[in-house]
Amino acid sequence: MQKKNISVIGVPMDLGQMRRGVDMGPSAIRYAGLLERLENIGHTVTDLGDIRIDQAERVHTAETNLRNLEAVVKGNTELADQVKAVKDAGDFPLILGGDHSIAIGSLAGISSKHENLGVIWYDAHGDLNTGETSPSGNIHGMPLAVSLGLGHEDLVNIHGYTPKVKPENIVIIGARSLDEGERELIKEKGIRVYTMHEVDRMGMTRVMEESIEYLKGRTDGVHLSLDLDGLDPSDAPGVGTPVLGGISYRESHLAMEMLAEADILTSAEFVEVNPILDEKNKTATVAVALIGSLFGEKLL
């Protein structure tokens, strides 16, 4: 893998959902040795610190069915600005969450630099809800829908344009918990999804080969959005919405190694590490190990 200039951005956001602690995710990932790991591989790493997230009183607005809308929009707007600045400098943005609502800002800042951005959504969930379809009103279940231009106008119009990504440029890997509205949207938009059925039946090698080939021919850059709950809870227990029967630790390493070999990624984020729910920082340590593989770390 070609050596990169990597800019690390932490986003201590916990307002996109209801469980406290995920705001400590960026610190936990750094504590698990992220910066040293990347530098040992040979990359140049700049830690830009954390985006400031206002810890406002938690608000559920009945009119929108969206929790903490104003604070989530503000944090994601600041993230989008910083990500765009990193892309303007020609560097690789590596974003640490925080809950998955931060992908709204990540994609707003990244997509502005691409004509045809591809997205790999590595997650147990589709995150394709809107205020109308969400059972909870939690915005961390909506970022992919928002990036498609679906949802509240304050969210979809961050950075003044929408959509950020086209449905045919998305690949979801590891899905095993989808709400009814999400299933309908996937069928309507023709979004490519590899559920755990496909991962089990085809094997991770073929899933990744097909995903890489699919995106390689139609995009001018690919963003990886990896939610640690995409992994099985036995490997990544420190997440807010664990779902049994997930991708294994070794399968995930293989997926990251194949992405490193393909060298198609232009940005990445790792989200939903919650140290309060974790076991001795195990999930953050897993995240760092996967990031190592993603950036070309090899045993021999």
**Catalytic status, residue 229:** yes
**Catalytic status, residue 251:** no
**Catalytic status, residue 123:** yes
Q: Spot the catalytic one: 23, 272, 278, 297.
A: 272
Give the Cα separation of 101 and 97 in Å (integer): 9
Q: Spot the catalytic one: 43, 114, 125, 253.
A: 125
Contact 218, 204 (CB under 8 A): no
Angle at 223 between CA 221 and CA 228, to 5 degrees: 160
Q: β-strand 192-195 against 60-61: which pairing, if any?
A: unpaired
**Catalytic status, residue 100:** yes
Q: Spot the catalytic one: 14, 50, 127, 182.
A: 127
Q: Spot the catalytic one: 140, 152, 159, 223.
A: 140
**Catalytic status, residue 180:** no
**Catalytic status, residue 54:** no
Q: Spot the catalytic one: 43, 100, 114, 223.
A: 100
**Catalytic status, residue 140:** yes
Q: Spot the catalytic one: 123, 232, 251, 269.
A: 123
**Catalytic status, residue 23:** no
Cis peptide before 149 (omega within 30 of 0): no
Q: Spot the catalytic one: 99, 182, 227, 232.
A: 227
Give the Cα separation of 255 and 31 in Å (integer): 24
Residues 6+ apart with CB under 8 A from 45: 6, 8, 35, 38, 39
Cβ count within 10 A of residue 200: 12
Q: Known catalytic residues? A: 100, 123, 125, 127, 140, 227, 229, 272
